[in-house]
Structure 1
Amino acid sequence: MIPSPTTLDRSDPLLPAIPSGKASPSPAVPSPSLPPTADVVVVGAGLAGLACARHLTAAGVEVVVVDSSDGVGGRVRSDLVDGFRVDRGFQLINPAYPELHNVLDVAALRLQPFDAGVAVHRDGRVSAVRDPRRHAAGVVEALRFPLGGVREKAAVARWLLRVTGPGDLKERDSGWSDALDDAEVHGGLRWSVIEPFLAGVLGEVDGTTSRRYVDLVVRSLLRGTPGLPAAGVQAVPEAIAAQLRPGSVVLGTEVRHLGLAPRSIVAETTAGGVNAQAVVVATDVGAAAHLLPKLQEPQVHPLTSYWYVTPSSPAPASREKLIHLDGERGGPVVNTAVVSAVAPSYVPAGDRRGLVSALLLGRDASAGTDARVRAQLARVYGADTAGWELIAVHDVPHALPALTAPFDGPRPVDLGDGLFVAGDHRENPSQQGALVAGRRAADAVLTRLGMGRRRAG
């Protein structure tokens, strides 16, 4: 039996307690009661909503954040299952995102970094390649890497050189597949490395995401080394929530309707109504479209993650801190990682077993998928996966908003009548995008309230 992904062990010292409005196996902390009035109501306690509330609070605005879940974070959540830490979906924190540093102390997350590179399985062998700027062996690995000839490797180098440049917004935007075609990147490197890697980052393998946005993604990966916080990715939203006024986050409460009054907006919730001068909807795109009929709901890319406990690390020490790709693309998994090798805090103290994640595109948590995932991981790691224990499966239906070409910049956050919207679907599908969208929504609210833009530090 797979333990429920909502089973949380709040006795863990690395994961601060979260007020809960729902029953849980461990003692629940009551959520604060809903106030009858507030300057601003923020609907949704994900990254965008919390960032918005933080900026408004710093400007002296009375804010209440309402969320139907049992904890803050939205899609950025972590659970403990039998002492193993599992994030809901395979998520990394990139310290190169500038907005992270504007809302929290990144050093306090105690990031545990992956090695900058990938390990690729193809034709019965696994080959590793790392960023030569950060790993001494990277140059030799690149020269020996068996995939892609000299011409394709040179084309990839030119493509990366262009990506790291300033860019040209006047250039015609198209999908990233077209961008690789234009760069004359064809062959084994593209098929077995670049396309599977970007699929895991973007949530799609069709190559339809805007090349302008993909350039930003690749640039940020080249500038930073993503990692996992010691307490799981949920440490990020909790660090932001900790900066809000005590009692300003109300959990386990659903906002069902927004009503316009002559001089206020009434947020009707399962715990009563709240009168406010402005409401910021910072939920996932589906819930946002329900509350805001004027909002055009963008397409989304769903993801599914599988988490296994293994007898030991299935990868040798030389490459166990790398993202692993199936260069043959012979199954549903787009990437996999030995999380326990990168983040020892994800494993119970003294436990020598391994923790392996596997990421799939789409919603694929059917009964037969586990067998297909195991078969593919057995090839990728060269290990017997029959005895691996499946401890969690996360179906994330609104994982990433689609950002197809042409990408002309951020979408509006002010919908008029005191209604605002925040979320990565207003900026770009990333943690950076969610945080920036939250700040933009806060600035727009402050303008409506006649307080101008008072940037929080």
Structure 2
Amino acid sequence: MATETVDGFRLDAGNHLVNAAFPEMLRTPGLGGLRLRPFAPGVLVRGVGRNYRVGDPRRPREAFSAARAPIGTPLDKARLGAALARLAAVPATRLLGRPETTIAEALCARGFSPRMVEGYLRPLLAALLSDPDLSTSSRCADLVLRGFARGRLCVPEGGPGAVPELMAEALPPGIVHVGERVTSVSTTEVTTAEHGSTSCRAVVVATDAHSAADLLPGLHLPRFHPVTTLHHAAGTPPLREPALVLAADRGGPVAYTMVASEIDPGCAPPGRALVSTTVLGDPSRFSPHEAGLDKLVRHHLCDLYGTDTAEWELLGVHHDPEAVPAMPAPHHIRRPVRLLGGLYVCGDHRDTGTTQGALHSGRRAAHHVLRDLGIRTEYGTSRDTLKAA
């Protein structure tokens, strides 16, 4: 989670959507001071040649029964409202015990019409999971939908980089060192390219999946969902509300977009607007060149926002081919974080591919470290820690 500053704009390296209902956002030391900027309830969707709003999922009747959105029959909308209400009330442990298939197959089995899936559920889940093909485990998708039904989508105030910065500030001064490349680890030693070897009592590898596998041969390496984020500066906001805009029509590269400065005004200089847009999958299937992708994205944004985008300034393009670990069915949702006494690993690739999953895997690893070192904590047993997910 990182934030880049360009000409007074704060750019998210990956459009990190977080949820106010994520338990670890409340439990992780240092994040008590994190301010979350919420989106407007519900989402705006562009589909079947028109824009429509789907309201707050925490108020099913308001969101779906009275919605004029062309996303299905009244029975479809009632079924979806009831399903979200049930997900919000079910403990996470029960969701993990459900039969597992892909979320595409699960939605079909639950009776949702193709119109409801294509007009709302697919674009929503694509934004939440970075998986437009809906190949994700139904259990993992249900966990994400449960969070969506229980809390508001948000972005961290100041950009996603505020999250690791606050966590680092909660530690004793002088113990965090950056810019050092680790070349090998063991249960008692870490070797860096810059400063050689350092002895220790335990090592936690908290990195992306590929870096962890390089340091720990044989570690499970998942597939990934690529994510590309484009940031544009506009003279005036094309939408004057903090809304998440989903593209249900698959006529262009955009999966979802937002006027980021309407959600967090501090991410743009006064008198300017920041529009952040996400493209899912390999962007080369749309254009092999960045300029070509930008042209196609602008054309799509013109349709989504109903405004001319020709004069917008491209501030940055961030492409991460390994942005989100894939979670296909069957998915091992709690991979071991203790490899052996003194050697541990954590990250979203050991849990769910979300900020909640990354933080929770870190908590699980920390618990094992403390237990192996004989240190009792207030967090209880490993079983209690797993229940907290």
- Of residues 319, 324, 335, the one that matches 1:400 is 324
Q: Percent identity?
A: 40
| 1:373 aligned residue | 297
CA distance 1:222–1:133, shift in 2 (3 Å): closer
- Within a 5 Å distance, the mapping from 1:356-435 to structure 2 comes to 356-364=275-283, 366-367=289-290, 368-416=292-340, 418-435=342-359
Residue 129 of structure 1 contacts residue 138 of structure 1 at CA under 8 Å; is this kept in 2? Answer: no
**1:331 positional shift:** 1.2
- Of residues 118, 123, 129, the one that matches 2:43 is 118
> How far apart, in 2, do the equivalents of 1:140 and 1:419 lie?
49
> How far apart, in 2, do the equivalents of 1:257 and 1:177 lie?
41
| 1:355 aligned residue | 274
The one-letter code of the counterpart of 1:163 is L
1:77 aligns with 2:2: yes
Residue 179 of structure 1 contacts residue 211 of structure 1 at CA under 8 Å; is this kept in 2? Answer: yes
SS at match of 1:227: strand
- Of residues 54, 59, 78, the one that matches 1:129 is 54
1:207 aligns with 2:128: no
SS at match of 1:144: coil
> How far apart, in 2, do the equivalents of 1:201 and 1:132 lie?
14
| 2:252 aligned residue | 331
Please give the TM-score of this superposition, normalised by the length of structure 1. 0.76
Residue 333 of structure 1 contacts residue 361 of structure 1 at CA under 8 Å; is this kept in 2? Answer: yes
SS at match of 2:330: coil
- Of residues 139, 154, 158, the one that matches 1:227 is 154
1:94 aligns with 2:36: no
1:307 aligns with 2:228: no
**1:138 positional shift:** 4.1
SS at match of 1:400: strand
> How far apart, in 2, do the equivalents of 1:327 and 1:417 lie?
48
1:278-320 CA distance string (max 9 Å, x none): 11111100010000003121112121100001121112x4xx3
CA distance 1:392–1:421, shift in 2 (3 Å): same
> How far apart, in 1, do the equivalents of 2:63 and 2:12 lie?
33
**1:87 positional shift:** 0.9
**1:230 positional shift:** 2.6
> How far apart, in 1, do the equivalents of 2:65 and 2:157 lie?
30
> How far apart, in 2, do the equivalents of 1:325 and 1:208 lie?
19
> How far apart, in 2, do the equivalents of 1:149 and 1:405 lie?
29
Which sits farther off after the overlay, 264-273 or 290-299?
Answer: 264-273
| 1:38 aligned residue | none
Residue 65 of structure 2 contacts residue 78 of structure 2 at CA under 8 Å; is this kept in 1? Answer: no
The one-letter code of the counterpart of 1:344 is P
> How far apart, in 2, do the equivalents of 1:305 and 1:132 lie?
26
CA distance 1:272–1:218, shift in 2 (3 Å): same
- Which blocks of at least 5 consecutive residues in structure 2 are unaligned? 381-389
**1:92 positional shift:** 2.4
> How far apart, in 2, do the equivalents of 1:172 and 1:255 lie?
41
CA distance 1:209–1:131, shift in 2 (3 Å): same
Residue 176 of structure 1 contacts residue 210 of structure 1 at CA under 8 Å; is this kept in 2? Answer: yes
The one-letter code of the counterpart of 2:50 is R
- Of residues 102, 121, 124, the one that matches 1:197 is 124
The one-letter code of the counterpart of 2:224 is V
The one-letter code of the counterpart of 1:99 is E
The one-letter code of the counterpart of 2:129 is L
> How far apart, in 2, do the equivalents of 1:296 and 1:163 lie?
30
In angstroms, what is the RMSD of aligned CA positions? 2.3
| 1:342 aligned residue | 263
| 2:197 aligned residue | 273
CA distance 1:285–1:139, shift in 2 (3 Å): closer
> How far apart, in 1, do the equivalents of 2:367 and 2:305 lie?
48
Residue 130 of structure 1 contacts residue 142 of structure 1 at CA under 8 Å; is this kept in 2? Answer: no
> How far apart, in 2, do the equivalents of 1:158 and 1:134 lie?
10
> How far apart, in 1, do the equivalents of 2:27 and 2:18 lie?
15
**1:185 positional shift:** 0.8
**1:106 positional shift:** 5.2
- Of residues 237, 246, 255, the one that matches 2:182 is 255
> How far apart, in 2, do the equivalents of 1:360 and 1:116 lie?
23
Residue 93 of structure 1 contacts residue 226 of structure 1 at CA under 8 Å; is this kept in 2? Answer: yes
- Which blocks of at least 5 consecutive residues in structure 1 are unaligned? 1-75
| 2:98 aligned residue | 171
Residue 443 of structure 1 contacts residue 454 of structure 1 at CA under 8 Å; is this kept in 2? Answer: no
> How far apart, in 1, do the equivalents of 2:273 and 2:366 lie?
42
Name whichever structure is richer in helix by fraction: 2
**1:266 positional shift:** 3.9
1:37-71 CA distance string (max 9 Å, x none): xxxxxxxxxxxxxxxxxxxxxxxxxxxxxxxxxxx
1:245 aligns with 2:172: yes
> How far apart, in 2, do the equivalents of 1:285 and 1:139 lie?
38
Please give the TM-score of this superposition, normalised by the length of structure 2. 0.89
CA distance 1:343–1:285, shift in 2 (3 Å): same
